[in-house]
Structure 1
């Protein structure tokens, strides 16, 4: 009986620990490298503006430079609907917790620029009107003003 209870407690703690894992890792990395965190809520297989955001901004070289040049740490909290695109139960739970904390209105796409402590510096509701280069420049400008 003690073994079963111990096993159950270990599972509960393991799931609870993993729940905020990506954000906690991002905060640590952002603190160490003086980066910002870009958190994007998307519906990758059903939300047309989300798909456009990824194609026209996030998958571009201008945006990828933000990551390689240590300007941002990028987190995508995805909420796919198709069975073939479903995430692991742990990742679903983590995304749900991120949404509870940062996206209580359930907006898609919804993009947040956070400091290394998780404080919101800027948010974009829906598809940003700027192109990838302008979007990236805005993030760089916000980072410069944080110094």
Structure 2
């Protein structure tokens, strides 16, 4: 019985550790460097993390699951562009997030944009691959939509 509990705890611990291994960049320049090195597109997550109910639901149902973690590691570079109401951000991050919100025409949260980025003469250009928000049906339904953008 004790052996079963130990094995169960190790299994649950390994799943939790795997789910925590993904990195959400907040600096888009750094994310672009990683994207260019790995040849993976950016997944730009525009969120209101501390006030947007649909953003919180998307996080819970999709973005914090083991299935999403595995998919993200193989397919994209993650970027969180947050617009919190109660949490503080640096002026640099606020400016960056506002500029990207305007550049992509983001009008509601959550919005997830898939894009490729190139830098030439210090200027960044984005090629949009598609965008989505909350998708009912959990992780597999959301990933089906995401994969549709990445296959183009």
Judged with a 3 Å threshold, the aligned counterparts in structure 2 of structure 1 residues 34 and 130 are, in CA distance, closer, same or farther, namely farther
Deviation at 1:58, TM superposition (A): 0.9
Q: What CA deviation, in whole Å up to 9, does each residue of 1:56-113 have, x standing for no partner? A: 11111111113322x100111111112xx12122211111111111134x21111111
Would the aligned equivalents of 1:44 and 1:51 in 2 still touch at CA under 8 Å?
A: yes
What TM-score do you get using the length of structure 1 for normalisation? 0.70
Question: Which structure has greater strand proportion?
Answer: 2
Deviation at 1:141, TM superposition (A): 4.9
Partner Cα separation in structure 1 for residue 78 and residue 29 of structure 2:
12
More relative contact order, 1 or 2 (CA 8 Å, 6+ apart): 1
Partner Cα separation in structure 1 for residue 54 and residue 94 of structure 2:
21
3-state SS of paired residue (1:120): strand
Aligned pairs (5 A) from 1:1-147? 22-69=27-74, 71-82=75-86, 85-104=87-106, 106-117=107-118, 118-124=126-132, 126-143=133-150, 145-146=151-152
Question: Which structure has greater helix proportion?
Answer: 1
Partner Cα separation in structure 2 for residue 66 and residue 27 of structure 1:
19
Q: How many residues align?
A: 120
Unaligned 5+ runs, structure 1: 1-20
Would the aligned equivalents of 1:103 and 1:110 in 2 still touch at CA under 8 Å?
A: no
Deviation at 1:38, TM superposition (A): 0.6
Q: What CA deviation, in whole Å up to 9, does each residue of 1:13-71 have, x standing for no partner? A: xxxxxxxx8223222222221211111111111111011011111111111113322x1
Would the aligned equivalents of 2:48 and 2:85 in 1 still touch at CA under 8 Å?
A: yes
What TM-score do you get using the length of structure 2 for normalisation? 0.68
